[in-house]
Amino acid sequence: MEKILITGATGSIGRNLLEKLSEREDEITVFTRNPSKAEKKLPSVKKIVKWDFEEVDYWSNELNGKDVVIHLGGANLAAKRWNKEYKKLAYNSRIISTRNLVGAIKSVEQKPKAFICANAVGIYGDRGDETLDESSTLGNDFLANFCKDWEAEAKKVEELGVRYVSVRTGLVLEKDEGLMKKLIPSFKMFLGGYLGNGRQWFPWIHIKDIAGIYLHAIDNDSLNGSVNGASPGIVTNKEFSKMLGKVLNRPALFPIPKIALRIVSGELGNYVADSQRVSMDKILRSGYNFKFENLEEALRDLLE
């Protein structure tokens, strides 16, 4: 039985991961900004701690004696239209929270064995057809620099003798959540389509597999550093849209110009149509077995 502390547990990845950890009877502590909301969403969790990531003194001792810390917390990047204020909130909620978690780990006597932190494939920037593994050069736009700063703060935990894993997460597929929640209504109204020219690579991953990668990172002591979190069955955006239309029995008729994404999403729209052809060789070599490598099987599992 592991003693595991999780931030961001009320999000879709956190909830799916907690389900598996509860089945294993691991001892779970959740850090959350809203304990009453967390208690309703996470009835199986016995210990929920109110967490303000800027008020370190109130929660730092809770880290003492934990085996693993999993940091999923941060403002939802797609929740609001991007503007200067929301970009600042998104940045601070990840970079400062990560910095303060690592600082708190430094202060406790019994440090965790592992610190596993979320990140995103946006760290690579828009890379066309280039195959990207964890050693590839990184991007230099706002989102890529955001992700680089995030990783740099998380990586400092290695100086404390703590194993570090950064999961560079792709586009997570889950019914009624995130990307799928936005796409499905449009497709059902025969308004679905691919983005731009549709040739950009689309690093999707089923929710069960991204949660599975975190579980694998907890259990696999030899896994460390940055890890791409997407399916080996990567497709282009056009191929994804066609397959989603097939599963929903709705054709993907209309290409969606990038300018329309910017109008709806603000600056985030610049990144939605980026291309990241990520390689999954590292996680496969570490022994992780994907449940869903085939896109059609993944979509049918979620939608049928």
Residue pLDDT, tens place only, 185-197: 777 776 677 877 8
pLDDT tens digits, one per residue of 15-34:
999 999 999 999 999 999 99
Instruction: Give me the amino acid identity at 191.
Output: L
- Cα-based distances in Å from 2 to 21, 212, 221, 251: 9, 16, 13, 47
CATH number of domain containing 158: 3.40.50.720
pTM given for the model: 0.93
Structure tokens at 90: 């998104």
pLDDT tens digits, one per residue of 245-263:
899 988 776 676 555 555 4
Q: Is residue 52 a part of any domain in this protein?
A: yes
Q: Is residue 218 a part of any domain in this protein?
A: yes
Strands (E), 89-184: 114-120, 131-132, 163-169, 171-173
Give the CA count within 13 Å in the CB-facing half-sphere of 54.
Answer: 3
Q: At residue 47, does pLDDT exceed 60?
A: yes
pLDDT value for 268: 59
- Please give the tally of structural domains in the chain: 1
Q: Percent of the chain at pLDDT above 70?
A: 92
Instruction: Give me the amino acid identity at 248.
Output: L
Q: Is residue 140 a part of any domain in this protein?
A: yes
Q: Is residue 95 a part of any domain in this protein?
A: yes
Rounded to 5, what percent of the chain is helix, strand, coil? 45, 20, 35
pLDDT value for 164: 97
Q: Is residue 120 a part of any domain in this protein?
A: yes
Q: Is residue 303 a part of any domain in this protein?
A: no
Q: Is residue 26 a part of any domain in this protein?
A: yes
pLDDT value for 27: 95
pLDDT tens digits, one per residue of 152-198:
999 999 999 999 999 999 999 998 877 777 777 777 776 677 877 88
Residues spanned by the domain of 31: 3-172+205-231+279-292
Q: Is residue 152 a part of any domain in this protein?
A: yes
pLDDT band of 214, cuts 50, 70, 90: very high
The pLDDT mean for the chain works out to 90
